Structure 1
Amino acid sequence: MGGFLSWWDGVELWLSGLGFVVQTAIVMPVVLVLAYGIAVLLDGALGNGIRLLRRALHRDQEPS
């Protein structure tokens, strides 16, 4: 873990030394890819959750 934190500190120092436009050009693609990945995961999880809830509600409404 210490190695990763040391690497991250180096990246952070390197990035903070760059100009704003260059920082933005480097950071935005990374942030957009992460946001897209999180959105896809949440969409799948929520879609499956809604499907399970509908199945459970439909099961409760069937006449026995």
Structure 2
Amino acid sequence: MTSQPITAQPGTPYGEFLAEQEEIQRLKWLASEREGHDIGFEYALNDWAKNHRAEWRSMRNQMLRQQD
């Protein structure tokens, strides 16, 4: 039995969760590179929620509406 990666459709709750998690991981990687050490997921999550989420969500919703 082989396991298949789980894929989720954009616009579904799970698909949006995965897209947001990917952006948080990207922020974590970039900030960790800049700082010279791993900043940790919790720090990246808080920074993301405070400084980036609202704008990303707005752009993401606009992109999803255009695809419909």
Q: Does TM, normalized by the shorter one, top 0.5? A: no
* Structure (1 or 2) with the greater helix fraction: 1
RCO greater where, 1 or 2, for CA within 8 Å and sep 6 or more? 2
Structure number with bigger Rg? 1
Structure-2-length-normalised TM-score: 0.36
